[in-house]
Structure 1
Amino acid sequence: MKLDILVFGAHPDDAELGAGGTIAKEVSRGKKVGIVDLTRGELGTRGSAEIRDQEAANAAKILGIVVRENMEFADGFFVNDKEHQMEIIKMIRKYRPEIVLCNAIDDRHIDHPKGSKLVSDACFLSGLIKIDTKMDGDDKWQDAWRPKVVYHFIQWKNLEPDFAVDVSGFIDKKTEAILAYSSQFFDPKSDEPATPISSKNFIDSVNYRARDLGRLIGVEHAEGFTVERCLAVDNLDDLI
């Protein structure tokens, strides 16, 4: 299955938090979007890997994506090496996306910048024809494929975006997808330990950050991204 957009997140809920509005908007435009989670989030203070598996499936239905997979890398301990790069290359060649979205280039959680660099490096390597890959259980060699662009969403740290996507009208869908992870976020009835993302302030911050970025570009809500290449527009009318 060829996808238009493939979103990688180090943990289940990273994609929703960083790019949930953009994903929902692109799906509404008829784009085929998929998510690949690098880990099951098994080291998370709240919930469990099994709970997060189900929450991720529920969030996928809310966003309307066509596929979601989990690489089952070791939460907290995966590294950017050949073994992990080869597994990501297989996913890129399997889905052949034009656009890849992935973790923030710098962030509080160590897995976020690690995942960011791992995916970015794998996107480049995936285009090299002398790297041979097969999906497990498949005798057919995969064709080389390199996405046209890699964009990094913004997470805990308030990084300066290189561009912003107008997600006005999709913030409620984003919030619904985030709250599908009920084990992770604010629940006044929960007796689980408090974490930096389980407070009401954190879930409120998702909205007010989107509103503030929207204010800066003259819309209601927006999500920010950073890039590793020079941005280009076809003409000045492309800017909003």
Structure 2
Amino acid sequence: MQLDILGVGAHPDDIELGCGATIAKEVHFGKKVGILDLTRGELGTRGTPEIRLREAKNAGEVLGISLRAQLNLRDGFFINDQDSQLEVVKVLRKYRPKIVLCNAVRDRHIDHGKGAKLVSDACFLSGLRKIDTGQEVWRPKQVYHYIQWQDMIPDFVVDVSGFLETKINAILAYKSQFYDPNSKEPETPISSKNFVESVSHRARNLGRIIGVESGEGYVATRYPAVDRISDLI
């Protein structure tokens, strides 16, 4: 199966938080989208890897994605080395996505910036013929970075009006991680009601800036291009 878009996150729930509405919209319009989690999120304060795996499956069903996979790199300790790069290259060559969406280039969690560089580097390496994985070479056409905890000025904003509710529902599929007034788990920076509300606030603010209901912002490491100026809204 060839994917149109592959979303990659260091942890289960990174994709839902960073670009869940974009993915829901692309699925709605018939694109094949997959998600790759680099780790199991085993260092998370709340929940367990097994619980998060079930939650990730449920979140993927909410978004309507075609597949979800995990590389089982070490949460908190994975590095951007040859072994890790080759594992990502194998996924890229297997599913041949045209677009890759990956972690923020810098962020509060150390895995996010590391994940961004690892995936970006792997996208380049995947196109080199002399790297032999027993697969045909493949290089995605575009690599974009979604925005996470740290506010950033996006290079472009996607209109996700009508898909914000799906994004929030996908986030809340991670019941162990986010706001639950009945939870006995320790409080974390993402477990408050305010955090979930902030996700909607950011999307609506980005939408306000571009003149639509809601938006998701992205950082690009090379200039985005459009075919015609009239394509811009």
TM-score range, shorter chain: over 0.9
**Superposed displacement of residue 34, structure 1:** 0.1
**Superposed displacement of residue 235, structure 1:** 1.4
Alignment-derived partner of residue 126 in structure 1: 126
Equivalent positions of 1:178-217 (< 5 A) are 178-217=171-210
Alignment-derived partner of residue 116 in structure 2: 116
**Superposed displacement of residue 236, structure 1:** 1.0
Equivalent positions of 1:68-107 (< 5 A) are 68-107=68-107
State the AA in 2 paired with 1:36. L
Alignment-derived partner of residue 9 in structure 1: 9
Task: Mark the runs of 5 or more structure 1 residues left unpaired by the alignment.
Answer: 134-140
Residue deviations 1:75-128, cap 9 Å, x none?
000000000000000000000000000000010000000000000000000000
State the AA in 2 paired with 1:11. H
SS of the equivalent of 2:144 reads strand
Task: Mark the runs of 5 or more structure 2 residues left unpaired by the alignment.
Answer: none
Alignment-derived partner of residue 230 in structure 2: 237
Residue deviations 1:154-192, cap 9 Å, x none?
000001100000000000100000000000000111110
SS of the equivalent of 1:203 reads helix
Alignment-derived partner of residue 174 in structure 1: 167
SS of the equivalent of 1:106 reads coil
Residue deviations 1:59-90, cap 9 Å, x none?
01110000000000000000000000000000
Alignment-derived partner of residue 64 in structure 2: 64
Q: Indicate which of 136, 151, 159 corresponds to 1:143.
A: 136
Deviates more, 1:228-237 or 1:74-83: 228-237
Q: Percent identity?
A: 67
SS of the equivalent of 2:185 reads coil
Inter-partner Cα distance in structure 2 for 1:218 and 1:104: 24
State the AA in 1 paired with 2:218. F
**Superposed displacement of residue 16, structure 1:** 0.2
State the AA in 1 paired with 2:102. C
Is 2:147 aligned against 1:154? yes
Inter-partner Cα distance in structure 1 for 2:216 and 2:79: 28
Inter-partner Cα distance in structure 1 for 2:188 and 2:10: 18
Is 2:32 aligned against 1:32? yes
Alignment-derived partner of residue 49 in structure 2: 49
SS of the equivalent of 2:153 reads coil
Inter-partner Cα distance in structure 1 for 2:53 and 2:87: 20
**Superposed displacement of residue 231, structure 1:** 1.6
| 4+ residue segments displaced more than 4 Å | none
SS of the equivalent of 1:78 reads coil
**Superposed displacement of residue 11, structure 1:** 0.2
Inter-partner Cα distance in structure 1 for 2:161 and 2:145: 20
TM-score (norm 1): 0.97
**Superposed displacement of residue 233, structure 1:** 1.2
